[in-house]
């Protein structure tokens, strides 16, 4: 099993993915494993299987991009991964709807509700304003 011990940057991606989904002590676990996001079974204990799939199907990570789930409510699995910019990832998060139908409202593992208003981090004021406007209109039901 390789991961953080490897010099391959995808080993870090694999290790971080596992923390998000499998480690309840991870600071953002509630956004991943805590809401049921899982990892494709063959990748859980085999970083090389994950690395090989990513390289074959997505290629090396382009500058400024990180791994993203196409369906934000879907799992880390073949067919649901891509390289994406911060802006693409933020737009993907905005599309997630909680059980109440409101953007940023999700039920967490203990049954309580969390409202998330942080939309993302943006490179320009125009991108930030666009993301805010989109989120606001969704909250207002437009």
CB 68 within 8 A of CB 57: no
pLDDT at 85: 85
Distance CA 140, CA 22 (A): 35
Domain map of the chain by residue range? 1-84, 86-142
pLDDT above 60 (res 136)? yes
CB 66 within 8 A of CB 84: yes
Average pLDDT over residues 105-128: 67
CA–CA distance from 20 to each of 37, 124, 125, 127, 141 (Å)? 9, 28, 29, 27, 31
pLDDT above 70 (res 99)? no
Least Cα distance to 75 among 19, 35, 28 occurs for 35
pLDDT-above-70 percentage for the chain: 71
Average pLDDT over residues 107-121: 64
What would the pLDDT profile of 26-68 be if each residue is shown by its tens digit?
988 988 999 899 999 999 999 999 999 999 999 988 998 999 9
The answer to whether the predicted template modeling score (pTM) of the entire model surpasses 0.85 is: no
Which residues are within 8 A (CB) of 132 and not within 5 positions of it... i.e. 6 or more apart? 119
């Amino acid at each position: 099993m390789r991961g953080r011990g490897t010099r391959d940057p995808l080993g870090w991606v694999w290790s971080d993915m596992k923390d998000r989904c499998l480690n309840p002590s991870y600071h953002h676990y509630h956004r991943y494993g805590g809401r049921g996001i899982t990892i494709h079974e063959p990748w859980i204990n085999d970083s090389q299987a994950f690395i090989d799939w990513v390289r074959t199907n997505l290629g090396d990570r382009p500058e400024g991009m990180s791994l993203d789930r196409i369906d934000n409510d879907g799992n880390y699995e073949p067919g649901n991964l891509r390289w994406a910019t911060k802006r693409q990832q933020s737009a993907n998060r905005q599309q997630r709807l909680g059980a109440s139908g409101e953007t940023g409202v999700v039920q967490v593992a203990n049954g309580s509700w969390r409202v998330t208003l942080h939309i993302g981090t943006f490179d320009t004021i125009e991108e930030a304003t666009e993301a805010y406007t989109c989120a606001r209109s969704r909250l207002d039901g437009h």
